[in-house]
Amino acid sequence: MGNCCSDDHGGQSAVGGTVASLQNLAGGSNDIVDHFLKSRGYHVLFTQIELSLSATNLRDRDVLSKSDPMAVLYVKGRDGTLDEIGRTEVVLNSLNPLWITKHTIAYHFEVVQSLVFRVYDVDTV
């Protein structure tokens, strides 16, 4: 695994890793939208997809070591607001992180779903 700051299976207790990342769009507000559309005679087609995140050639933002990156996943609403649906663990001293945390979301066919990915350098000092 390398560079992970957790020795738990799956990295679920790593710095920044949350249980909320496992309970995102997979079954939340999509049930309500599906019910609304079905009540109007529409049949919504969707499937669950799993996202695995990695990054390459990040900028080094630390002085004495390499950056400690964490990725945060947002869904963009119609009004432009960003709602967080998951985050990864922090990978220590890496400019090419491969995060362990996977995110399962509902992909709706023929519906625009804007996702925003942001990478942060986490400093614990």
The domain spans of the chain are: 9-121
Mean pLDDT of the chain: 78
pLDDT digits (tens, 9 = 90+) for 46-100: 889 999 999 999 998 778 888 899 999 999 988 999 999 999 999 999 999 999 9
Choose which CATH entry (2.60.40, 1.10.287, 3.30.420, 2.50.20) describes domain 9-121. 2.60.40
Q: Which of 82, 105, 97 is nearest to 23 (CA)?
A: 105
Distance of CA 69 to the CA centre of its chain: 13
Within the chain, residue ranges assigned H as helices are: 30-39
pTM: 0.63
Helix (H), strand (E) at residue 38: helix 30-39
The answer, yes or no, to whether residue 113 has pLDDT greater than 50, is: yes
The three-class DSSP label of residue 106 is: strand
